């Protein structure tokens, strides 16, 4: 009698696993944001230098996504995500025990290795589903992910106020251990190894980079989310210096876009298959621009407050929740056999732009300017996102697609 076969780790991961991995990636980006003013004081440095912990993280995250995609297409999703989580644990300890701001910023950049979680969660969805169904599934995955940034800053603000900024990174370490165990147990391989070298994988990038459709979807998601990344870079300053908010209160308000993002992803999960990717992206980009416009008009009318500033950001989140999953599914469907590379490149475009916008937002703001430069930057970015998806729709109609 034959013994049962050994586990092959070929069973696909559960939806809950993909949600939790994506959530950890989001949490690593924003849980510590309410701590930035206190971290500035702790390291005895300038806020603009401390704020680089956001921009540098996003920049390295973008660069890593270019590598993660081809690496996962070559070696498989499972080993890449496991090694990424192990490295994330080590560099998180480096952040906790950093003696200077320079050392902290180095380890903070290295924390961007957690990009494996979001890149390969998205790639796994595209491995398992076709375009419109993948958009729907990505909506559910990122709806779950939205819960994390909704509560992350609020939790981070409370932890900072009562236990110090290091507590935020201890939470990331503990959750990283849990994610590593869960991934080892449940994240079965979803793609066959390509058998190609990394150089051969990179040589296939032109197939994506020369595709107007890929660029249209990637720019639509990148510019739509760009408004949010500018918000990440500027909102901590606006809340403390303009509105005089304490860390715990700021953390509570800071999650407003994530509330909208949650709703937007619910809409994506429920309607993407029925409505179609292109229309969902268009409506999302328009909603994103509407939220920033209303906040700007309220400020110009003399009624600006923390309630209007953060309240209208829920519409920005709603638009992102509708646009990003659908635009991502569209970009990954341009060349389905390159889903891992497309996921990485799409994420790199989105986060590279986000890094620049985050740094730009921090540089533009001062107590004298108030929130105006941030809102103008967000509006310009949101409107360009509308232009990007219009170009995709126009080209599709012209070609009769």
| Residue with the two structure tokens 């701590």 | 35
Helix spans in 52-165 (H) = 52-75, 77-96, 101-110, 115-128, 131-163
Q: Is the four-CA dihedral 391, 393, 394, 398 of positive or negative sign? A: positive
Cα gap 31→24, rounded to integer Å: 10
Nearest to 232 by CA among 355, 106, 88: 355
Residue 5: its pLDDT value, please? Answer: 35
Mean pLDDT by 10 residues, the chain (401 residues): 40 77 80 84 83 82 78 78 93 93 92 85 71 65 62 81 89 92 81 62 72 88 86 82 80 80 81 83 94 93 88 92 86 71 75 76 77 90 92 83 61
Residue 297: its pLDDT value, please? Answer: 94
- For 15-399, CATH number out of 3.40.50.740, 1.20.1250.20, 3.90.1170.40, 1.20.1260.10 equals 1.20.1250.20
**What residue spans define the domains of the chain?**
15-399
Residue 4: its pLDDT value, please? Answer: 34
Query: pTM, whole model, 2 decimals?
Result: 0.69
Residue 192: its pLDDT value, please? Answer: 61
């Amino acid at each position: 009698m034959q013994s049962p076969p050994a586990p092959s780790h070929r069973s696909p991961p559960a939806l809950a696993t993909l949600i939790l991995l994506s959530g950890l990636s989001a949490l690593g980006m924003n849980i510590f944001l309410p701590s930035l003013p206190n971290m500035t004081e702790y390291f005895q440095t300038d806020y603009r230098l401390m704020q680089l912990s956001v921009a540098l993280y996003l920049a390295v995250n973008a660069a890593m996504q270019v590598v993660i995609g081809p690496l996962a297409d070559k070696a498989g999703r499972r080993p890449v995500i496991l090694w990424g989580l192990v490295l994330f644990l080590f560099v998180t300890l480096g952040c906790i025990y950093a003696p200077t701001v320079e050392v902290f910023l180095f380890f903070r950049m290295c924390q961007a290795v957690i990009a494996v979680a979001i890149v390969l969660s998205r790639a796994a969805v595209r491995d398992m589903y076709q375009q419109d169904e993948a958009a729907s599934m990505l909506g559910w995955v990122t709806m779950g992910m939205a819960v994390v940034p909704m509560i992350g800053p609020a939790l981070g603000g409370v932890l900072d106020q009562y236990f110090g900024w290091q507590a935020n990174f201890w939470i990331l370490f503990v959750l990283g251990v849990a994610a590593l165990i869960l991934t080892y147990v449940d994240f079965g391989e979803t793609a066959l190894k390509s058998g190609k070298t990394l150089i051969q994988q990179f040589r296939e990038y032109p197939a994506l980079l020369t595709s107007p459709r890929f660029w249209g979807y990637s720019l639509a998601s990148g510019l739509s989310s760009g408004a949010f990344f500018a918000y990440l870079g500027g909102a901590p300053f606006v809340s403390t210096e303009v509105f005089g908010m304490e860390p715990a209160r700021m953390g509570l308000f800071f999650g407003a876009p994530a509330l909208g993002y949650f709703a937007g992803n619910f809409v994506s999960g429920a309607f993407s298959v029925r409505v179609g990717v292109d229309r969902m992206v268009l409506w999302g980009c328009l909603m994103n621009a509407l939220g920033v416009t209303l906040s700007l008009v309220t400020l110009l009318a003399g009624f600006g407050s923390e309630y209007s500033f953060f309240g209208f950001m829920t519409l920005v989140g709603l638009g992102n929740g509708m646009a990003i999953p659908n635009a991502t599914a569209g970009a990954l469907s341009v060349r389905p056999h390159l889903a891992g590379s497309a996921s990485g490149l799409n994420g790199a475009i989105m986060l590279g732009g986000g890094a620049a916008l985050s740094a730009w937002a921090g540089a533009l703001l001062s107590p004298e300017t108030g929130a105006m430069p941030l809102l103008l930057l967000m509006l310009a970015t949101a409107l360009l996102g509308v232009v990007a998806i219009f170009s995709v729709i126009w080209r599709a109609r012209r070609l009769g697609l």
